Each structure stands twice: as C-alpha cells, then as structure tokens.
A and B are shown apart, each in its own frame.
Chain A
Amino acid sequence: MADKEINRKLLEIAGFEGDELEAFLPGWMESVEIIGMTDEDIRYSVEEYIPKNWDIQFRGVRKMIGAYLREMVEITNTKKYKAEGKKIIYGILPAVCQPYSALKNAAGEDAYVSFPDLMLVTILNGFFDKADPYLRYAEELGFTYGCRHCPLNKMRVGSFAKGVLATPDVIWSWGFNCDEGPKTDEMIQCMLSESWKYVISRIPHDTAFGTPDDEYERVEYMSKVLKEGLDEIAEVTGIRPSDEDMKKAIKDAGRYSFKLGQLISLVCQSDPVALGGNSLTQFGQGVAVPFNCGIQYLEEALDITIKEVKTEIKNGTGVLPKGAPKVGSYFVPFCIPWIDRIFRENGVATTFSQTLSPSKSQLSPGKYGDDPYMSMAETWLKMPFGQNMGYEVEAMIEKVKANKPDGMLMGFFDFDRWLGAHQKMAADMVEKATGVPHYYIESDFWDDRDYSEEALRTRIESICQLLQMKKDME
C-alpha cells in the first residue's frame, strides 16, 4: 500500500492545498502506481530532488509543478478515458499548440489532447529523475543506444510498450523540423500496434540562409498542410474545431505568450536574478505544448510567479547575489534541473531560453487574423524551431540584445539532427554580432544517463569562472 503521507507532501510542494489536494490525491496515487514509482522515489523527490533543484520558495513555481503533475494523472488516465469512449489525440514536439488547443476546445472533456511523451520526460526527469526505465526499455526494443535517438521518441515508445499510454485514436505527428518524430509513429505502427494511427504534417527545410520563413507562399503551404491534417483528424475522431475554437486557441496562446514574454523580461533584467532558468523554460512550454487540463493551471502559476518576481525585484532579493552573471540557453526545456543548480552553486544564474522566448516578431500581431489556418501557420513559421539558420539567428541576436545575458549556453541537444546540428555555427554568428560569449557543451537536457553531474561539473564550473572573471573586469 503506497504511503499517502509522502504523496500528500509531494502535492503540497506542488502547490495543492486543502480540499483540492485531498480530491486530487487518490488519482495521483493511482497515477504513481501506473508509472511504476515507489514511495522511495516520491520521498527522494520530496526530500531531495525538488527542493534541491527548483525554486519552490515561490508559490508560482510550486503551482507550475502542480500543473505538470496534473498532466501526469491525465496521461495515466488515457486508457480509462478510451474505455469511456473519449477520443485520445496525441501530438509531438515540435509544434505550436494552437491547433491542438483548438481540438481540445472543440471536444472539451470528450477528448484527451496533449503530447504525453514530452510531458512524461519533463515530469519524470524534471521532478523525479525517473525517466530511465522507459528510455532503457525503448532502447531494448530497438532505439539503438549508440545512435543518439531522441529521448522524447524513446519515451513515447517505452511508455506505450509498457502499457502506460493508451493507443490514440490518432497522433498528429508534426515533422516540420523533425525526421525522427514522425518516423517513431511509423515504427510504433510497424512494431507494436497497427492501431497506432498517425497523421503526419511536414514541410521541407528549403528556405535559403537568412530569408524569412514566414513569407506568404510558405505560410499558405503550411496552412494547407495544417488544414489537411485537421481534416484527417476530424475524419478519424469526429472532432472538427470551429473557427471560434481556433480563434480562442489563438487568443489564449497570444495571451500566454505575452505574459511569458513579461516574465522573461523581468527575470532577465533583474539584478539580483529573481528566478532560475529551469522554471522559466518550464513556463515556456506553454507556448509549444497543449496541456490536457488546459493552460489555466500553468497560466495561473505564471500569473503568481510574475507577481512574486516583481516583489523580489522590488525588495532587491533574488536567487543569487546582486551582480551575479547570467547565462541564457538554447534549451527546450530543462528536464535536467540540476544543470541550473550547478550554475547557481558557482554563482551564475540561468535565465531565458532562445527556443522558448518569444521574439518581437512572434509577439507582434499576425497578418492573417481572419484566417485561422494561415494564422496558425504564420505562428509556426515564426517559431525559431522551424527556421533556416540565418533567419533564426536574427531573432537570436535580438533576444540576446534584449535579455542581456553575460553568456549563452549552447548544446545539450546531441540527439537532434535539426535543433542540435547548427548550434556551433549559430553561436558563432550571434557571438560576433553581440559580443556575448557562447559556450557549447555536447550533452542532453532530457536524459542525463550519459552526462552525469560529475561529468559536467568541471565544464560548467569552468564556464562560470570565465563569466565571473569577465564580470569582474567590467
């Protein structure tokens, strides 16, 4: 019989209170059992892993953790939901969440819509350091270890093969800049279950260096791809978002994005730094990933955090002393939170993420207001993920100039042949344009089996020393 108390303590840390906590607890404990975590795992998380690695002094951060834990319960409920006749719709990163949010808006409680693999990696490694069993299982099934496959895809395969995930009615597999993601769904279909139905939506990376990716022709093609995708999903699931559903999704995403931008700006401008970069990037996921519970919990956490950060700034307090150097990153997002801690132990704060911080272009009003498909396509093509390196670098330079880090941390993307491949060149260009030093570490921010704390400590300490020295000279 699982220990109620330790799970209760965890939920308290995760911002649950009173009746809400008690109501959530039984479902949570069921979820823990399905995932295969023990009381020891929960205890480790409560007593060590979360307090050591997350800024839980902030209620907003605790609520953020809670928003994610809710998603874990939703994931483990997918089989139950399916049995109840609800539609199960998955997606994969990379994506923008509007089309998925629109599906969820249309279906409401009658559908589960999210990216379960990303959620599981984020939650299990971010808060429990417990994604390994699933990743290993996927490797046994055939994601050859030495080939450097993506942990998200391993998690999808591993969690499905272990019976955690229900077979979806459909998975909408965006390969806009990812080859392995959609191919994983083909692999699941070939190897594990013919019923694993997928719809793929892709666009080649064929824009010339530095040309805008969000020009009309491309946006138009993308909108057709999205519409075809949604049509296929509607055929399979019977769920067809109305224009109103889509407009609401766009509006919610826009509002969230704006608030996120606010928080990032506050944190990056603050001195002393008010909040750790790991929390910041976790909030960033709200622009790219649909939450089945809706954005409400994460947004509530974001609102609280903004207020708390403002208070910190007003009081002149922060997570590090005044004058501490700041480093931005390219992460999507932080599932290895101890990276932030090692930086902090060495007097350096991690702040914004290039991939999850909206650029000016992303925050400015879109050109295709009345056409939801064009609007969504434009949103996607403005995302740094899917852009040619030259165009992406323009936005990177803008964000470095706006957020003023003392250094940038690149790499940690060794499993990704798109987002990991160009970073050395991009770093070179951004460094030349901004004068901000960029440091590259070959590692993995989703899976730390190859790159333990001890292994990275020396590198991170060296970077921190350099940043401190530079700061002292200034």
Chain B
Amino acid sequence: MLFAGVDIGSTTSKCVLIDENKEEKMYRHIMTGFNRDASGNEVLEMALKAVGANESEIACIVSTGYGRKAFKKAQKDIPEIIAHAEGTKAIVPDVRTIIDIGGQDSKVIAIAEDGTVSKFEMNDKCAAGTGRFFEVLTHRLLGVEMDELSDLIMKAKDPIEISSMCTIFAESEIISHLSQGKPVEDIAAGTGYSIARRIIQQGKAGRIPFDEPIIFSGGVANNEGITKIFEKLLGKKVTAISNPQSTAAYGAALRAMREYNKQDK
C-alpha cells in the first residue's frame, strides 16, 4: 500500500510516495506547468513509474502547495505550512523552527513543544528573500550556476553588504560592485547575507524566537554557504534537512496515511 503526497508549488511540483511504515519509497519533481492539475498528474505518474507501481496501489493522496486545490485526484489538501511542519517533524521530531526558502516564497515556522505549529511568517509578495532573488542576482549577474554557489560563498573573505531590500535595486547594486572589480565570491556571499537577514527579520517581526533545533529546507537549503550564513546571523546551529525540496510532499504523504487510517477506523 502506498500513500502519496503531491506538492504543487509555483515553480516546481514534487511527489513523495511512502509505504505503511512511513518509509519514503520515491521522490520526483518537475517544473510546474500552467495547468496545475496536469502537473500534479505528471509528477505522480513519474513517481509511480519509478517504483514500478500504479495508481490503484495508492490508498490516499493528499496535495499541498499553491496548486493543491487544482489537483483533482487528491482526496484532501493541506496548506504547505502544515505539510512542511509534518514532514520536518517526522524527520526531526524535536524541531522547533523551520526556515524554508522556495523559488518564489519563503517561510519561517515555529513549532511549539507539543509539536503543533504555533506561529508562521511567509513572504510571498516580493522576490527578495526567495530563491528567485538568488537565482537572478547570482546566476544571471555573476554567471555562476546554482550548484557552484555554495563553494563560492564559502570562499568569501569579506562579504559585501547588499543593502537594497528590493531585487530590482539589489541588481543595480551588484552591477555597481562588479564594475568596481569587487570579488565575485564576496558579492555572492553578500547576497546570501541579504536573503538570510531578510528572512530572520521577517521571523523576528512575527515574534518567532528561532528556538533550536532549527531546520532549513527548500531548494536554497542545498546551499551550505547559506546555511552557514544563517548560523552566523542567528548565533545558533542550523541544519539543512536532507532532500530539502521534498519536505512538504513528504508531510502531505504522511497526512495521507493519517487520513486513511482515520477512515479505516
């Protein structure tokens, strides 16, 4: 028996399949198309094909992400805040803070001692503080691929502060620094500081205490340099979760199992 969690985000769609023992059997992701239902189907199909299973073996599907309501096959949908919390808690049971930086939004989630979500802050109105900010500024301007970014940031000796809070203005600032011949690694690190600071500020303004353990998820969590920057700014240990882009889908899959077991009873 399988349970499926399908996370249809604005940039990518992810699917996680788990078995009755909550073990992750498969994870797949694709770029989200304009038709969110189709994207959900596509990624689900990919995951099933990869394990050699078919849809009839799925006992319950739960969707999450911005496109969650569009996915017709889901028996239930849950908001991604809850899905992230569930997924992360399953991997790190005593987690107290989740920092998630996706392609187009970022979230800080506080988990209470009893494991419930006590507070959350989201930035989804503006690219600053999201993976998009990073992508535009470093990939496009610095000519650096995303998977090279971490090493570059770690090499920085003197990160250059990017003071602009807006992606557009930050772009101008970076161009100015480049034209002055400032080291690329310092600029990359400065961009990282800019994102991290923005997110921490967002969380603190929402009264999130950043209690430990702090887990970092989302695509940007693949970047060790950014993890280190968060640690430096918070003065606390921050751990990037493994498979950081799959957490919400995993949480949705766990919820699928829970929903199924509830019905079964």
User: Do any beta carbons of A and B sit within 8 angstroms of each other in the complex?
Assistant: yes
Which of B51-59, B99-107, B164-172, B245-253 touches A?
B164-172
In the complex, which residues 174-230 of chain B have their Cβ closer than 8 Å to any Cβ of chain A?
175-176, 197-198, 200-202, 204-205, 207
Flag whether A234 is at the interface (Cβ < 8 A): no
A322 CA / B207 CA spacing, docked (Å)? 56
Would you give the shortest CB distance from B17 to chain A, in whole angstroms? Answer: 39
Would you give the shortest CB distance from A40 to chain B, in whole angstroms? Answer: 11
- Which A residue sits closest to B129, measured CB to CB? A145
The reply to whether B205 and A139 contact each other, CB–CB distance below 8 Å, is: yes
In the complex, which residues 137-183 of chain B have their Cβ closer than 8 Å to any Cβ of chain A?
163-166, 168-169, 172-173, 175-176
Which of A98-106, A308-316, A448-456 touches B?
A448-456
Interface string of B4-35 (1 = CB under 8 A from A): 00000000000000000000000000000000
| A449 proximity list for chain B (CB < 8 A) | 163-165
| B175 proximity list for chain A (CB < 8 A) | 454
A449 CA / B201 CA spacing, docked (Å)? 15
The reply to whether A144 and B164 contact each other, CB–CB distance below 8 Å, is: no
| A431 proximity list for chain B (CB < 8 A) | none
Question: Can you list 12 A-B contacts with CB-CB less than 8 angstroms, sorted by A residue number?
Answer: A132-B163, A136-B201, A140-B205, A141-B204, A141-B205, A145-B165, A145-B205, A449-B163, A450-B169, A452-B173, A453-B176, A454-B169
Would you give the shortest CB distance from A153 to chain B, in whole angstroms? Answer: 15
The reply to whether A140 and B200 contact each other, CB–CB distance below 8 Å, is: yes
Would you give the shortest CB distance from B193 to chain A, in whole angstroms? Answer: 12
- Which B residue sits closest to A132, measured CB to CB? B163
In the complex, which residues 136-170 of chain A have their Cβ closer than 8 Å to any Cβ of chain B?
136, 139-146
| B262 proximity list for chain A (CB < 8 A) | none
The reply to whether B204 and A455 contact each other, CB–CB distance below 8 Å, is: no
Q: Which of B126, B197, B207 contacts A146 (CB 8 A)?
A: B126
The reply to whether B163 and A452 contact each other, CB–CB distance below 8 Å, is: yes
Inter-chain residue pair count (beta carbon < 8 A): 49
A450 CA / B163 CA spacing, docked (Å)? 7
| A145 proximity list for chain B (CB < 8 A) | 165, 198, 201-202, 205
Q: Which of B125, B173, B202, B205 contacts A454 (CB 8 A)?
A: B173
| A455 proximity list for chain B (CB < 8 A) | 164, 168-169, 172-173
A455 CA / B162 CA spacing, docked (Å)? 12
Residue positions of A touching B, CB distance < 8 A: 132, 136, 139-146, 448-455
The reply to whether B176 and A454 contact each other, CB–CB distance below 8 Å, is: yes
A136 CA / B201 CA spacing, docked (Å)? 8
The reply to whether A448 and B163 contact each other, CB–CB distance below 8 Å, is: yes
| B207 proximity list for chain A (CB < 8 A) | 142
Residue from B176, B200, B201, B202 with most neighbouring chain A CB atoms (10 Å): B201
Would you give the shortest CB distance from B121 to chain A, in whole angstroms? Answer: 10
The reply to whether B201 and A139 contact each other, CB–CB distance below 8 Å, is: yes
The reply to whether A454 and B201 contact each other, CB–CB distance below 8 Å, is: no
Summarize A's interface: helix, strand, loop or mixed: helix
Interface size range of chain B in the complex: 20 to 34
| B204 proximity list for chain A (CB < 8 A) | 140-141
- A-B residue pairs, 9 tightest by C-beta: A454-B172, A140-B204, A455-B169, A454-B176, A449-B163, A455-B172, A144-B205, A452-B173, A140-B201
A146 CA / B207 CA spacing, docked (Å)? 16
Would you give the shortest CB distance from B263 to chain A, in whole angstroms? Answer: 42
A2 CA / B236 CA spacing, docked (Å)? 30
| B126 proximity list for chain A (CB < 8 A) | 146
Would you give the shortest CB distance from B166 to chain A, in whole angstroms? Answer: 6
A160 CA / B128 CA spacing, docked (Å)? 29
The reply to whether B201 and A452 contact each other, CB–CB distance below 8 Å, is: no
Q: Which of B172, B197, B205 contacts A142 (CB 8 A)?
A: B205
A474 CA / B168 CA spacing, docked (Å)? 37
- Which A residue sits closest to B168, measured CB to CB? A455
A145 CA / B126 CA spacing, docked (Å)? 12
| A146 proximity list for chain B (CB < 8 A) | 125-126
Would you give the shortest CB distance from B108 to chain A, in whole angstroms? Answer: 12
Interface string of B69-103 (1 = CB under 8 A from A): 00000000000000000000000000000000000
A142 CA / B126 CA spacing, docked (Å)? 19
Would you give the shortest CB distance from A439 to chain B, in whole angstroms? Answer: 19
| B205 proximity list for chain A (CB < 8 A) | 139-145
| A451 proximity list for chain B (CB < 8 A) | 164, 169
| A450 proximity list for chain B (CB < 8 A) | 164-166, 169
The reply to whether B197 and A136 contact each other, CB–CB distance below 8 Å, is: yes
The reply to whether A452 and B200 contact each other, CB–CB distance below 8 Å, is: no
A150 CA / B164 CA spacing, docked (Å)? 17
A289 CA / B207 CA spacing, docked (Å)? 35
Residue from A132, A448, A449 with most neighbouring chain B CB atoms (10 Å): A449
Would you give the shortest CB distance from A138 to chain B, in whole angstroms? Answer: 10
A132 CA / B126 CA spacing, docked (Å)? 21
- Which B residue sits closest to A449, measured CB to CB? B163
| B202 proximity list for chain A (CB < 8 A) | 145
Would you give the shortest CB distance from B141 to chain A, in whole angstroms? Answer: 13
- Which B residue sits closest to A455, measured CB to CB? B169
- Which A residue sits closest to B177, measured CB to CB? A454
A448 CA / B164 CA spacing, docked (Å)? 8
| A132 proximity list for chain B (CB < 8 A) | 163
A186 CA / B195 CA spacing, docked (Å)? 31
| B165 proximity list for chain A (CB < 8 A) | 145, 449-450
The reply to whether A452 and B164 contact each other, CB–CB distance below 8 Å, is: yes
| B125 proximity list for chain A (CB < 8 A) | 146
| B176 proximity list for chain A (CB < 8 A) | 452-454
A144 CA / B198 CA spacing, docked (Å)? 11
The reply to whether A452 and B197 contact each other, CB–CB distance below 8 Å, is: no
A143 CA / B165 CA spacing, docked (Å)? 15
| B198 proximity list for chain A (CB < 8 A) | 145
A139 CA / B205 CA spacing, docked (Å)? 7
A136 CA / B126 CA spacing, docked (Å)? 18
A453 CA / B172 CA spacing, docked (Å)? 9
- Which A residue sits closest to B123, measured CB to CB? A146
- Which A residue sits closest to B161, measured CB to CB? A132
A142 CA / B121 CA spacing, docked (Å)? 13
Residue from B176, B200, B205, B207 with most neighbouring chain A CB atoms (10 Å): B205
